[in-house]
C-alpha cells in the first residue's frame, strides 16, 4: 500500500505539471496524498477498483469516502425529486442508502423532465463461472432504471481486464464472459432495450469502439493514470491502457448502430470502487465533445465474514453464489455470517445486538423489500428481543427464494437467447 500511495503522490505532481487533466481526477489523487501525510497513525479504508478493505467491523466509512472521492451524497431532496418525476416509489436500494452517492444525477432527472433521451451503462468483470448475490445489486438497480425511464442499457463484460489482472487465458476469459452474461440476462432485462458485449470479441466487430479508445488514450498520460489508479513502473502495459476500454462505452458514439452520431448523456450505476475509471472519463469527455457521464454509486456487499471486506467470487466461503443449493445457503449463513450479537444470550437480551455489523441483517437490508418488516427486525435485534439465530433464519428465508428463482430463470437462457443480447443491432427506445 505504501508503494501505491507514493505512486499516487508522484502522480499528483505529474498532473500538476501537465495541467491537462481537470479537477475531478486530480482532486482525488491530491486528497489521497494529503491523507497519507496527515493520518500516519490511522489505518485508512482501502478502496480502489481491485481492493476493498476496512479495519472497522462496520465496514467502509462512506461519508469519508464521499469526501475523498468528491462525489455527492444522495439525500432526501434528491429521492423526492426521483419520486416526483417518475411517479413511482424510489427503489428500496436507494431508499435505504445502499445507493448512496452520485455524480450529476440531477442532470439526468432534468433530461427526463424535458423528455430528452439518455442511456444506461454498467458492467461486470468476469472472473468466475458463477456470480454471487452481491453481483446482482448493480443489475437490480439497472433493471429498475431501465423500466422506470424506458431507456436502453449497455452492459460491458471486461474479459480483457480479467485476462490482464487474473492472468486468465484469452479463451477462458471469453468463456467466463458468456457464462456471466447468462446470470445477468436472468435478472430479466428486455432484449429489445439491452445490448451486452464482451471486449475481447466486440472490439473486432465495431471499429467505433477502438477508435474511441484511441481518442481517450490520446488525452491521458502515463503519469495521469499512475495518479488515478496507482499503477507502477513494473505493471504490464495492458493494465495501463485498459482504463480507456472501460471509459469508451460512456461515449455514445461507441455504439453507432444504436445511437448514430448523437452525443447522449450516460448514467452509470456501479459500486463506488469503479469510480476512478469514470472520474477519468468525465475529465476526458468534454475535450472530445461529449457530455460527462453521470454516476450512481452503491456501497459494497459485505463478505459473510463481515463488512471489513466485500463478498468475493474468489473466496468460496465469503459468498452466497447463484449456483448454491438451499442447503449450501443455509449452511453458509449459519456457519460464516458475522454476528452483531453478544457473547451470551443473557448479555444479548440485556444489551441488544448491533445490526450495522451483523451480516444477516445486511442481507435483509439488501434483499428484504418490506421496509416495515426490516425496521421491525432492526428494532427487535437492537433491543435483544431477536437473537442471532432468529435473524439468520430470516436471512436464509429471504435469500434462498431469490437464488432459487434466479436459477430457474437462468436455465431458460439458451445459447440462442444469449446470442440475441450480443447481436449488433438497433435497440428500441424513446428518441
Question: Could you tell me if residue 419 is inside a domain?
Answer: no
Question: Could you tell me if residue 358 is inside a domain?
Answer: yes
C-alpha cell at 123: 458492467
Is 60 exceeded by the pLDDT of residue 2?
no
Task: Give CA separation, 136 vs 58, 139, 210, 325, 429, in Å.
Answer: 22, 5, 29, 17, 24
d(CA 114, CA 129): 42
* 284/197 same-domain check: yes
Mean per-residue pLDDT over the chain, rounded: 88
Q: Edge to edge, what strands does the sheet with 194-198 contain?
A: 72-73, 99-103, 294-298, 265-271, 118-124, 153-157, 194-198
Q: In this structure, what CATH number is given to the domain that contains residue 334? A: 1.10.240.10
* 140/111 same-domain check: yes
* 160/249 same-domain check: yes
Question: Could you tell me if residue 262 is inside a domain?
Answer: yes
* 239/359 same-domain check: no
Would the CA dihedral through 55, 93, 155, 318 be positive or negative?
Answer: positive
> Exposed (0-12), middle (13-18) or buried (19+): which is 244, by Cβ within 10 Å?
buried
* 170/96 same-domain check: yes
Assign 314 a pLDDT band (cuts: 50, 70, 90).
Answer: low
* 33/169 same-domain check: yes
296, 90 contact by CB (below 8 A): no
Question: Could you tell me if residue 427 is inside a domain?
Answer: no
* 332/259 same-domain check: no
* 268/234 same-domain check: yes
pLDDT at 294: 98
* 148/278 same-domain check: yes
Question: Could you tell me if residue 420 is inside a domain?
Answer: no
* 316/279 same-domain check: no
> Exposed (0-12), middle (13-18) or buried (19+): which is 362, by Cβ within 10 Å?
buried
Q: 273 is in which domain, residue-wise?
A: 2-303
Characterize 124-154 residue by residue with b for buried, 16 or more Cβ atoms within 10 angstroms of its Cβ, and e for exposed: bbbbbebbbbbbbbbbbbbbbbbebbebbbb
Is 50 exceeded by the pLDDT of residue 46?
yes
55-61, long-range: CB < 8 A, 24+ apart: 55/308, 56/307, 56/308, 57/306, 57/307, 57/308, 57/338, 57/357, 58/307, 58/356, 58/357, 59/299, 59/300, 59/302, 59/306, 59/307, 59/308, 59/357, 60/299, 60/300, 60/307
Question: Could you tell me if residue 192 is inside a domain?
Answer: yes
d(CA 61, CA 66): 9
Q: What is the pLDDT of residues 184-228, one digit of tens each?
A: 999 999 999 999 999 999 999 999 999 999 999 999 999 999 999
* 13/85 same-domain check: yes
Assign 7 a pLDDT band (cuts: 50, 70, 90).
Answer: very low
361-365, long-range: CB < 8 A, 24+ apart: 361/391, 361/395, 362/301, 362/302, 362/307, 363/333, 363/337, 363/395, 363/398, 363/399, 364/391, 364/394, 364/395, 364/398, 365/96, 365/98
Question: What total of structural domains would you count in the chain?
Answer: 2
Is 50 exceeded by the pLDDT of residue 288?
yes
* 246/318 same-domain check: no
47-56, 103-112, 226-235, 287-296: range with lowest mean pLDDT: 47-56
Q: What is the pLDDT of residues 164-191, one digit of tens each?
A: 999 899 999 999 999 999 999 999 999 9
Measure the CA angle with vertex 94, ends 360 and 83; round to 5°: 145
Measure the CA angle with vertex 316, ends 311 and 319; round to 5°: 30
Question: Could you tell me if residue 428 is inside a domain?
Answer: no
Question: Could you tell me if residue 421 is inside a domain?
Answer: no
d(CA 247, CA 244): 5
Q: In this structure, what CATH number is given to the domain that contains residue 65? A: 3.40.50.620
Amino acid at each position: 500500500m505504501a508503494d501505491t500511495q507514493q505512486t499516487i503522490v508522484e502522480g499528483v505532481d505529474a498532473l500538476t505539471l501537465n495541467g491537462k487533466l481537470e479537477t475531478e481526477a486530480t482532486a482525488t489523487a491530491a486528497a489521497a496524498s494529503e491523507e497519507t501525510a496527515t493520518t500516519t497513525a490511522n489505518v485508512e479504508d482501502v478502496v480502489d477498483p481491485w481492493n476493498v478493505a476496512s479495519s472497522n467491523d462496520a465496514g467502509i466509512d462512506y461519508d469519508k469516502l464521499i469526501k475523498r472521492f468528491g462525489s455527492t451524497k444522495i439525500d432526501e431532496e434528491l429521492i423526492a425529486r426521483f419520486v416526483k418525476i417518475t411517479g413511482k416509489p424510489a427503489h428500496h436500494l436507494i431508499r435505504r442508502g445502499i445507493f448512496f452517492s452520485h455524480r450529476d444525477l440531477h442532470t439526468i432527472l432534468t433530461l427526463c423532465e424535458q423528455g430528452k433521451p439518455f442511456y444506461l451503462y454498467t458492467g461486470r468483470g468476469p472472473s468466475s463461472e458463477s456470480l454471487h448475490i452481491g453481483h446482482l445489486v448493480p443489475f437490480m438497480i439497472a433493471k429498475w432504471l431501465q423500466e422506470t425511464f424506458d431507456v436502453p442499457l449497455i452492459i460491458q463484460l471486461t474479459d480483457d481486464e480479467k485476462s490482464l489482472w487474473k492472468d486468465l487465458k484469452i479463451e477462458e476469459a471469453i468463456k467466463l464472459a458468456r457464462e456471466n452474461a447468462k446470470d445477468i440476462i436472468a435478472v430479466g432485462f428486455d432484449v429489445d432495450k439491452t445490448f451486452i458485449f464482451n471486449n475481447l470479441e466486440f472490439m473486432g466487430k465495431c471499429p467505433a469502439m477502438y477508435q474511441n479508445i484511441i481518442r481517450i488514450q490520446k488525452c491521458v498520460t502515463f503519469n495521469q493514470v499512475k495518479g488515478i489508479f496507482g499503477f507502477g513502473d513494473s505493471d504490464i502495459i495492458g493494465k495501463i491502457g485498459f482504463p480507456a476500454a472501460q471509459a469508451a462505452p460512456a461515449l455514445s458514439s461507441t455504439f453507432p448502430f444504436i445511437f448514430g452520431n448523437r452525443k447522449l448523456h450516460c448514467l452509470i450505476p456501479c459500486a463506488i470502487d469503479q469510480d476512478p475509471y469514470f472520474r477519468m472519463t468525465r475529465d476526458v469527455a468534454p475535450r472530445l465533445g461529449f457530455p460527462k457521464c453521470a454516476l450512481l454509486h452503491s456501497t459494497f456487499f459485505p463478505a459473510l465474514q463481515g463488512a471489513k471486506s466485500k463478498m468475493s467470487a474468489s473466496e468460496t466461503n465469503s459468498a452466497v453464489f447463484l449456483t448454491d443449493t438451499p442447503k449450501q445457503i443455509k449452511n453458509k449463513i449459519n456457519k460464516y455470517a458475522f454476528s452483531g450479537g453478544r457473547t451470551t444470550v443473557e448479555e444479548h437480551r440485556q444489551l441488544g445486538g448491533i445490526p450495522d455489523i451483523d451480516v444477516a441483517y445486511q442481507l435483509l437490508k439488501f434483499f428484504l423489500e418490506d421496509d416495515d418488516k426490516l425496521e421491525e427486525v432492526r428494532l427487535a435485534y437492537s433491543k435483544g428481543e431477536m437473537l442471532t439465530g432468529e435473524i439468520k433464519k430470516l436471512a436464509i428465508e429471504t435469500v434462498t427464494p431469490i437464488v432459487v428463482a434466479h436459477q430457474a430463470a437462468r436455465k431458460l437462457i439458451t445459447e440462442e437467447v444469449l446470442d440475441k443480447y450480443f447481436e449488433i443491432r438497433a435497440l428500441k427506445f424513446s428518441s
